[in-house]
Amino acid sequence: MIKIKFTKMNGAGNDFVMIDKRDLGDYTLSAEEVISVCDRRRGIGSDGMIVIQPSQTADFEMIYYNSDGKPGSLCGNGARCAVKFARQQGYFGNNLTNFEVGGKKFSGEYYNDNLMGFHTGPPEKIKLNFKIKAFGQLITSHYANTGSPHVVIEIGNILEDPGKPDSGFTNLEKVPVLDIGKEIRYSRDFSPGGVNVNFISRIGNDVFIRTYERGVENETLACGTGSIAAALVLNSKYGIQSPVNLKTAGGDTLNVEFSNNAGTYSGINLTGPAKINFTGIFNII
């Protein structure tokens, strides 16, 4: 039996089991073990698992697994949690850090015990105003790859009744995120890797967002790279200026800052809460 220390954290409700590879030694968790740990009924329960380990080229390396046991792509809220966890574990001592994810370099910032920043690179692609067939209709959608692929949909473009052209959703809470998100996530248009699906609503200066995440295969309380994607889409389409504050399903606010020079993005920063839920030890039998 192997005893493994962990820290349960959440970034705006997006929750993770955090492990320091130095506590694992030579042991590597299998996909089945990751699934078991992330199981909300039979395990610790989380949207994913993050392992941090020493890096030869940065302060630390972050390895992210979705709750389905498979390695995930870039995770913004996970990165913010990793910044706090790595500092706590002694990987760096200042407020600024650089770290490695999937062979790429990123940086983060420790503002205070509850607020972390994640600095990321420009989007690989942004595409506006294309149609996706889902929910019995063609839905005007947008796309941004912000380290992970994201569809962004303004809820007014989804008809509650496909037979009534004036029946666009006005209340984000009433949108069937799970049903529409799952249908688009598995659409042949995005195969074989699939896509995350974000639903947004603007009320005055406030932007509200809900996200279906691939790998979790469910709605999560927040998605960092999805929030970045939504902010950049809103800037590209409507000229909404930085910073953009997004109200998540979990009730927290994620702040996205960026610069846009003639359509070229830089200085992208995701800021929001990162908190420790509890710590403990689990056994691998």
Question: Could you read off the pLDDT of 225-235 as tens digits, one per residue?
Answer: 999 999 999 99
CB-based contacts of 196, cutoff 8 Å, min separation 6: 148, 149, 150, 151, 185, 211, 212, 213, 214, 223, 225, 226
Question: Could you read off the pLDDT of 226-261 as tens digits, one per residue?
Answer: 999 999 999 999 999 999 999 999 999 999 999 999
For residues 62-78, give the mean pLDDT: 96
Contact call for residues 73 and 102 (beta carbons, < 8 A): yes
How sure is the predictor about 92, in pLDDT bands with cuts at 50, 70 and 90?
Answer: very high
**For residue 285, what pLDDT is reported?**
78
Question: Could you read off the pLDDT of 129-164 as tens digits, one per residue?
Answer: 999 999 999 999 999 999 999 999 999 999 999 999
pLDDT of 205 higher than 90: no
Q: Which domains are seen in the chain, by residue range?
A: 2-114+274-284 (3.10.310.10), 125-273 (3.10.310.10)
Report the alpha-carbon distance of residue 127 to residue 136 in Å, rounded.
23
**For residue 22, what pLDDT is reported?**
96
Location of structure tokens 């000229």? 239
Helices (H), ranges, 102-211: 177-185
Which entry of 19, 62, 223, 234 is annotated as an active-site residue?
223
Q: Return phi, psi of residue 156, to 5°.
A: -65, -15
Indicate if 223 belongs to the active site. Answer: yes
Which entry of 19, 52, 58, 75 is annotated as an active-site residue?
75
Structure tokens given for 99? 């770290």
pLDDT of 284 higher than 90: no
